Structure 1
Amino acid sequence: MNARCLNRGTAGNLSARHGEGFLITPTGMAYDELVPADIVVMDLDGSRRGARKPSSEWRFHRDLYAARPEAGAVLHAHAPFATALACLGRDIPPFHYMIARFGGGTLRCAAYATFGTQELSDHALRALEGRCACLLANHGLLVFGRDLSHALDLAVEAEALCEQYWRASTLGRPPLLDDAEMQRVLEKFAGYGQQED
């Protein structure tokens, strides 16, 4: 994440579904210094195995895996543009058709709650209904994908759109695509790319 400018230092976290639970990065450790033994194995009941403490945000990872069977990996980052816009506490509107890439007509912003709390997880899950990405107010970006590579691609795309929205907004008020157009885009995205048989 750091190499893709999504994160700095030890902020953010990653996880991947594993059996009946998931693997998650440890809290407060630099990603480029991690070794396999640092990764924490967690069950959906919140129990863990391993020498390290899990990310403080393990709750929204756990809750996403429990609620969304299509989630194979979860990524949370303090990406600069996504975080700046999250600090405004507003959804990103359909200024660009690629907003539909995340499952709807907006990139929602979850209500603020203290990091690492069940309240934050609950807010995030509400914002992710029908979506695979959201902003976390006064905090950052949260995405899930079918695997780690897909989640990373979605996070990079979300950060790029946040930067584009920020830049466009500094020049004026970007015109927005209407609901009917966003519905057409969502329908086209359903068959976009290489489909598995």
Structure 2
Amino acid sequence: MIRVLLADDEELIRAALAALLGLEPDLDVVAQAADGRAAVDAALAHRPDVAVVDLGMPVLDGLQVTAELARALPACAVVILTGRGRPAHPTRALTAGAKGFLVKGAPGGALADVIRRVHGGGRYVDPALAAEALAAPSCPLTPRELEVLRLAEHGTPAAVIARRTRLSAGTVRNYLAAATQKLGVTSRAEAYLLAHRHGWL
């Protein structure tokens, strides 16, 4: 039996996935979680073979859960599920340590097949997203520029971002100006939206 953890903040989706996987004779859903921190705790408690993790969850997102499990429970293969995949997401997921990346609109039996594949040591990335990733532009921003831009989402003042990043307010403004210039837009709000649309954040 392949022991599976399901983590998704939408209870209806989590229950539907559990029911679907419960029909498979070789899969056993041993734990469920509604947020990223609970997913990590459940994985450490139950030691699943495969964790199926939603990309967008509260407390810790799917990429953060993947990175934590890669460190704390390397024998557990992670499959990331998303309802809104962006071209950059599969690359970021694989870099974090995920073995699979699947969109929620995939055919019914696809998730079970992907779980078996990653449990066997393979990898899987949704073909449509993989093709988009190959055609998508690469991110021109540095990790620091991305970090500052991510924190600027709701028009957060430079002084607040500076405290969170332990940078000076002037340095924060410089990073935001550099990001805006590199992306060819006129404001940090536009820069954020463009970076988010490409999946760089």
Judge same fold: TM > 0.5, yes or no. Answer: no
Normalised by the length of structure 2, the TM-score is 0.26
Where relative contact order (Cα < 8 A, 6+ residues apart) is larger, the structure is: 1
The structure with the largest alpha-carbon Rg is 2
